[in-house]
Amino acid sequence: MDVEPHWGDPERSQVREDTSRGERIAGITWLSVGAVVSLLIAALYLGSRISIGDTSVPVPWPVLAAPLFNWVLTRTALLWTGDRRIAAIPLWVWLAGYLILVFWPALPGLGGDTILGSSLWTLLLLPAGLAGGGWALLRLK
């Protein structure tokens, strides 16, 4: 078994070389499923609030969690492939899911209910989520 060239170097993508093409496709597919699930959880909890006395305070923790989770998804995708375009697939899936949820009420035959409301938190979720995944792609040598 060959030693992987950059094993242990935190500044480089350490693509596993002992996997088949099918395993790599399955890995990226499951990361994409994770991106959809994380987006649905973010949409569900975006309007979270806590009560402090008689005051209800918004706690939009998905805006903080989305960049971290997308960063992890993208970094993990980089373990399956050295190609940044392929590693960005879970991030593209997250973006497509976000756009579908935003425009869901306007979709003919499907829409009706608003999933992502029109709020500042919804607007902040998009750049936060994209920044997290994009950061992982930009930080590589």
**What's the token pair of residue 116?**
């992502």
Mean pLDDT of 114-120: 74
Q: Which residue has the higher pLDDT, 113 or 96?
A: 96
pLDDT of residue 139: 64
**54 falls in which pLDDT band (50, 70, 90)?**
confident
Q: Give dist(CA 79, CA 87) in Å, integer.
A: 9
In the chain, where are the structural domains located?
21-138
**Cβ-contact 40, 96 below 8 angstroms:** no
pLDDT tens sequence across 84-104: 899 999 999 999 999 888 877
